[in-house]
Amino acid sequence: MKISESRPSVYLDLESELDRAKLSEPELYLQEHTDILVIIDEIHRAPALFPVLRGIIDRSRRKGKSNGLYLLLGSAVLEMLHQSAETLAGRVSYFELNPFIIIETEDRSSKTWLET
């Protein structure tokens, strides 16, 4: 992930049991990482994180850190979008990304299904 190469960050994949275990006490873990970007992939697997994130974001704002704490990734489940909109109102921006097409991938050296 290019963004994680440009600044200090930690990546959590909530499909990973090990990463989910790191968030067994989410407020403690996330509070320890407010000095770097925390990338949380598959956020839809842990909707209970939204209120925790809101509290940490609000405390960080009071200390002068206004944005860039978290990058939340995952499937756009309508229920999750509704919950995050309520819980993180004024603290979140949404970006809808289209799927990649084959010419957008980095490795173009191998044959594609079009060439076979």
Q: Are 8 and 34 in contact (CB under 8 A)?
A: no
- Diameter of the chain measured on Cα atoms: 58
Q: Are 83 and 47 in contact (CB under 8 A)?
A: yes
State pLDDT tens for residues 2-29: 666 777 899 999 999 999 999 999 999 9
Average pLDDT over residues 55-81: 76
Distance CA 109, CA 29 (A): 41
pLDDT-above-70 percentage for the chain: 59
- Give residue limits of the domains in the chain: 2-104
* CATH ID of 2-104, from 1.10.20, 3.40.50, 3.30.450, 3.40.390: 3.40.50
Distance CA 8, CA 36 (A): 5
Q: What is the pLDDT of residue 116?
A: 44
Residue 79's pLDDT band, with cuts at 50, 70 and 90, is low
Q: What is the pLDDT of residue 11?
A: 94
Average pLDDT score, the chain: 76
Average pLDDT over residues 91-111: 61
